[in-house]
Copies of this chain bind each other. A is one copy, B any other.
Amino acid sequence: MPQTTLAVTLLAHTPDALSLIYAAFRQCYHPGYVADMWPRLLSGDIPGDRQAEFVSRILASGHESPIEHVSFTFAVAGVSRALSHQLVRHRIASYSQQSQRYVDAASFDYVLPPAVAAIPEAKARFEAAMEQAGAAYAELQEILGRHGRAGKANEDARFVLPNACETKVVVTMNCRSLLHFFELRCCTRAQWEIRAMALAMLGLCREALPVIFGGAGARCERLGYCPEDERFTCGRYPRRFENPQIPA
């Protein structure tokens, strides 16, 4: 029953990403065929900073669809099933997640919330709960197996596994979907665990494609104000209705 920690690895992304986005934007307004321009984009004959400047300007005006042509694929581990249940609610994305029906969880790893870890009494109670869940799982596997349910034992025994149980998932999102994901999940209102994962993903995206992700983050970064109501705002940006300059 060991504790685990977040791991986010960028497995792959669409190559020549900036040039591809530039080409896609250009095709909308250009009379020629961007495939003819493509070698000049890759060779630097049309310089990268000119490509970047063009993309930034069009993007700022709200024309977002061309960034969909570029996707990022991450492998994620050390996250809880509580996290993955939230993650897969993002529908413009592809997921391949470790199955609790097929993978034995007899010695599962678990995620310990930092707020629990910070309080020795809470940490001890949490760890005891993990031990209890692990024991219940193993005993149910054994009982079900003894009664001829071996093939389906994992499937039914997993009902006693906790949300804290580690899962692993391969996730692909295009840049537009990623920006939306970051808007929601980099917000301080997001749950701490998915926020940590989103920030790790954002860091990798920024490194790979700064033109798109340099200014990405929570919704307030783009809107210029906090859209949450007063119970939930973190105070980093003014709320919409607090600022008389922002029309209601």
Contact = CB atoms under 8 A, between A and B. Distances in A.
Copies in the complex: 4
A185 interface: no
A60 B245 CA distance: 18
A159 B7 contact: no
A81 B31 CA distance: 15
A122 B147 contact: yes
Contacts of A237: 247
Interface string A65-89: 1101101010101001110110011
A42 B28 CA distance: 36
Given A23-B11, A27-B75, A245-B245, A140 B158 contact: no
A243 B247 CA distance: 11
A97 B34 contact: no
A159 B116 contact: yes
Interface residues of A, number: 108
Chain A interface main SS type: mixed
Contact of A98 (B27, B66, B140, B232): B27
A152 B55 CA distance: 24
A7 B7 CA distance: 38
Nearest to A219: B62
A24 B168 CA distance: 10
B162 A65 contact: no
Contacts of A101: 191
Given A116-B159, A224-B247, 5 more contacts: A31-B98, A33-B77, A35-B77, A71-B174, A245-B245
B219 A168 contact: no
A53 interface: no
A95 B169 CA distance: 21
B170 A69 contact: yes
A75 to B, nearest CB: 4
A96 B176 CA distance: 14
A102 interface: yes
Interface in A146-183: 147, 149, 152, 155-156, 158-164, 168-170, 172, 174
